[in-house]
């Protein structure tokens, strides 16, 4: 992550105020006899500049930490997905380990009792896993609790 990206996250109003104060500091000298006010402005300007630098540093640090957390979660998710890819979704006797029920939307939702992967039948979209035909539970297992 570059410094510029970090700056974008800083409070725009603070940046504008610091810039304005810096301009005032440079141009107001002779026209503004109130030196105490000028000094205060200069002090505030320095203070704001320091604050901006601190903010930039902490924004960069937070972004790094967030990136690392996301990467860690992604690794964990990948590991879970990998183990689910390796799962045969079958019980030791060779029968399907999927069990589930028909939802209100008319689709079937199955869960593997071994790896907990969820399957949808029929599957739609990239987020829904299709049920391999050989693993489709017998309909009586699926529908027995639904009214019969
Ligand atoms: Zn499984």
If DSSP codes are grouped into helix, strand and coil, which group holds residue 65?
Answer: helix
Cα-to-centroid distance, 106 and ligand 1 (Å)? 23
Confidence band of 27 (pLDDT split at 50, 70, 90): low
Residues 6+ apart with CB under 8 A from 95: none
Cα-to-centroid distance, 7 and ligand 1 (Å)? 46
Percent of the chain at pLDDT > 70 equals 78
Cα-to-centroid distance, 113 and ligand 1 (Å)? 7
Cα-to-centroid distance, 37 and ligand 1 (Å)? 72
CA-nearest of 118, 110, 109 to 81 is 118
Question: Which range (26-40, 43-57, 70-84, 126-140) has the least confidence?
Answer: 26-40
Instruction: Work out the average pLDDT over 36-42.
Output: 89
Q: Read off the DSSP letter of residue 116.
A: -
**Structural tokens at position 146:** 């639904």
The answer on pLDDT for 1 being more than 70 is: no
Q: What is the pTM of this model?
A: 0.51
Alpha helices, DSSP H only, in the chain?
3-8, 12-27, 35-86, 139-143
Cα-to-centroid distance, 87 and ligand 1 (Å)? 5
CA distance 91 to 114: 8
Cα-to-centroid distance, 69 and ligand 1 (Å)? 27
The answer on pLDDT for 137 being more than 50 is: yes
Cα-to-centroid distance, 96 and ligand 1 (Å)? 9
Question: Which range (22-36, 56-70, 94-108, 129-143) has the least confidence?
Answer: 22-36
The answer on pLDDT for 85 being more than 60 is: yes
């Amino acid at each position: 992550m570059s410094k510029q990206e970090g700056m974008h996250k800083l409070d725009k109003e603070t940046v504008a105020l610091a810039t304005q104060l810096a301009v005032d500091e440079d141009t107001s000298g002779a026209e503004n006899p109130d030196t105490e006010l000028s000094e205060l402005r200069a002090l505030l300007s320095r203070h704001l500049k320091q604050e901006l630098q601190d903010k930039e540093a902490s924004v960069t640090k937070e972004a790094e930490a967030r990136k690392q957390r996301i990467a860690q979660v992604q690794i964990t998710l990948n590991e879970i997905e990998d183990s689910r890819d390796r799962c045969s979704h079958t019980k030791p006797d060779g029968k399907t380990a999927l069990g589930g029920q028909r939802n209100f939307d008319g689709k079937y939702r199955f869960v593997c009792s071994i790896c907990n992967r969820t399957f949808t039948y029929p599957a739609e979209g990239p987020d829904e896993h299709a049920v391999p035909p050989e693993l489709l539970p017998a309909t009586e297992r699926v529908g027995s609790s639904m009214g019969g």
